[in-house]
Amino acid sequence: MKELSSLQIERLKYQPKLPSSLAGGINNLTLLEGAKTHSVKDEEQIQELFKNTYGKPVVTFKTSLNKNVCEQRNIGVILSGGQAPGGHNVIAGLYDALKQANPLNKLFGFLGGPSGIIDGNYIEFTDEKINAYRNTGGFDIIGSGRTKLETEEQFQKALQVCKKLNISGIVIIGGDDSNTNAALLAEWFVKNNTGINVIGCPKTIDGDLKNEQIEISFGFDTATKTYAELIGNILRDANSAKKYWHFIKLMGRSATHVGLEVALQTQPNITLISEEVEQRKMSLKQIVDYIADIIAKRADMGKNFGIALIPEGLIEFIPEIKSMISNLNDLLAVLESDTSFQNADDNQKFAIIKSKLNSQDGAVYDSLPVMIKKQLLMDRDPHGNVQVSKIETEKLLIEMVNTKLNEMKKAGTYKGKFSSQSHFFGYEGRCAFPSNFDADYCYSLGFNAFALIKFGLTGYLSSVKNLTAPAEDWVAGGIPLTMMMNMEKRHGEYKPVIKKALVELDGPVFKVLEQNREKWAFEDKYIFPGSIQYFGPSSVCDITTETLKLENSAALTSV
């Protein structure tokens, strides 16, 4: 038997809360349908690719007095992509719902992500197995993976495994790419009359899988609270020692929801927002000048310390670097099969890259420190893109800011001392014990996913909204996955993908940061959130993120 911490023992006892519609019983539900839907963009192409699942209505559930008997069903579940706090509770909610519907129902977990359903690697869940993982972090109950489900061969293999296990429903727990897989699999299953339903669940700590129906992806709440605790600790240390500038890179490649939320929770001196950098077409030099200016002004106040939050994907949003990386992605795809390039040393590779990029992109690449040039040539991600998470942007900015400050010192415009520390907070937040909010939300998402399958729906994303209200007032239902899709270029080809939600610069969340930047830069209005609280008053233990509060408040005001 594995060793358990005192906290885990207590968390295993926690009973997550459900929306009142679902709490009334899985066999006592009525399905309500809304209007037909359309994709967020590229409607003609998406409709052509998803002829059998496109345009379905948004649905919600209500409690019914009529009891609907559930025939015996076997369901499969997949954890896909990066870990996020609460994944185990999605599975627990799914398991409890199907067992409540019919004790003979079975839940199979595919091991190692989507590859599990292709290769036939699985386990059957039992009460003992589920009960050992309730309200815990991580995806270790069955593991995860990043295999894409997109080929005819993969779909055929998945079908054979489902037939072997008599599976009539699949739940894919993942982010935008994983749920794109779910949409493709759902379409193929319908097209081939398999009778197998596919439902997705919105997971990602990045917070970029959301819309009017999906208010927040699970894991975002816990991860940002975990990062806020760590950054709060560093803020207090900086304010105590008063001698270091801490440059902290935060996870979130394609959107800066994590950095923005953590900034609202802790109020650091500098917060960079990738979407703002892109919209204002800020160059790398302008970003460095902006940071150096704040450092110099604080030094004039006798403050040679501070905190700067750097989004993981910042470098891709700087216009001249974004252009260079875009063309570099295409060039590296060609050079993959060039043995002379692959066998060259670093300096030779740098020269080849510079010569093959256009003059402007080549000059940008050549101007970067050797450390960054090497990182840009590392193995690419599954989409064929540069692995931005491996680029140490925080160290790049420290080096360039230090150079700028030395120039200012020679010019007599800076008289302070600059000592720096660099950090990257990413993995620290992905497997934390889920907050009460994420524990409840994830359990509801899983429970709701089975309800969608029970009503014969496919190609839907499990949706639970009205999340700033008490859990009993949450609204359970589902939205068609095609509603969230558009066409994007991947590996040189346009493919259907779920559109990422970026930080809205005219939205209520960013506006709070914008209105307080000057004050936070110089007045040290630091907040120290402390660790996630699980026991105590609801006002402490069940709080949602600042992002969710502000967005829902704005939505109510606009009605």
| Rounded-to-integer distance, Cα 459 and Cα 449, Å | 11
Residue with tokens 């019914």: 64
Could you give the dihedral angle defined by the CA atoms of residues 125, 127, 131 and 133, in that order, rounded to the nearest 10 degrees? 0
**509, 428 Cβ separation under 8 angstroms:** no
Residue with tokens 């349908």: 33
Q: Given this model, what pLDDT does residue 252 score?
A: 87
Residues of the chain where predicted confidence (pLDDT) is lower than 70: 1-2, 379, 381-384, 556-559
Strand segments, DSSP code E, in 104-153 are 106-110, 122-124
Q: Which residues contact 555 (CB under 8 A, 6 or more apart)?
A: 212
**473, 54 Cβ separation under 8 angstroms:** no
**272, 220 Cβ separation under 8 angstroms:** no
**490, 385 Cβ separation under 8 angstroms:** no
- Alpha-carbon distance values, 247 to 14, 392, 404, 513 (Å): 37, 11, 16, 18
- For residues 435-472, one letter each, b for 16 or more C-beta atoms within 10 angstroms of the residue's C-beta and e for the rest, the string is bbbbbbbbbbbbbbbbbbbbbebbbbbbbbbebbeebe
Q: At what angle do helices 359-367 and 319-335 cross, to 10 degrees?
A: 100
In 3-state terms, what secondary structure has residue 483? helix
| Rounded-to-integer distance, Cα 289 and Cα 408, Å | 10
Helical segments of 242-283, H only: 257-266, 274-279
Q: Given this model, what pLDDT does residue 271 score?
A: 98
Catalytic residue among 176, 177, 206, 524: 206
Topology match between the domains 6-60+70-219+434-490 and 220-430+507-553: yes
Phi, psi of 144 (to 5 degrees): -135, 175
- Alpha-carbon distance values, 306 to 235, 288, 419, 431, 526 (Å): 8, 15, 10, 28, 10
Candidates 59, 61, 52, 54; CA nearest to 38 is: 54
Specify the fold of 220-430+507-553. Rossmann fold (3.40.50)
Domain boundaries, the chain: 6-60+70-219+434-490, 220-430+507-553
Q: Given this model, what pLDDT does residue 554 score?
A: 80
| Rounded-to-integer distance, Cα 337 and Cα 404, Å | 40
**465, 474 Cβ separation under 8 angstroms:** yes
Q: Given this model, what pLDDT does residue 382 score?
A: 64
- Alpha-carbon distance values, 145 to 37, 114, 178, 287, 322 (Å): 31, 6, 10, 36, 28
Residue 119 among the catalytic residues: no
In 3-state terms, what secondary structure has residue 108? strand
Phi, psi of 167 (to 5 degrees): -85, 135
**393, 276 Cβ separation under 8 angstroms:** no
Q: Given this model, what pLDDT does residue 2 score?
A: 66
Strand order in the sheet with 306-311: 270-271, 306-311, 245-250, 420-425
Specify the fold of 6-60+70-219+434-490. Rossmann fold (3.40.50)
Q: Given this model, what pLDDT does residue 490 score?
A: 78
Phi, psi of 422 (to 5 degrees): -115, 145
Q: How far is CA 505 from the centre of its chain?
A: 19
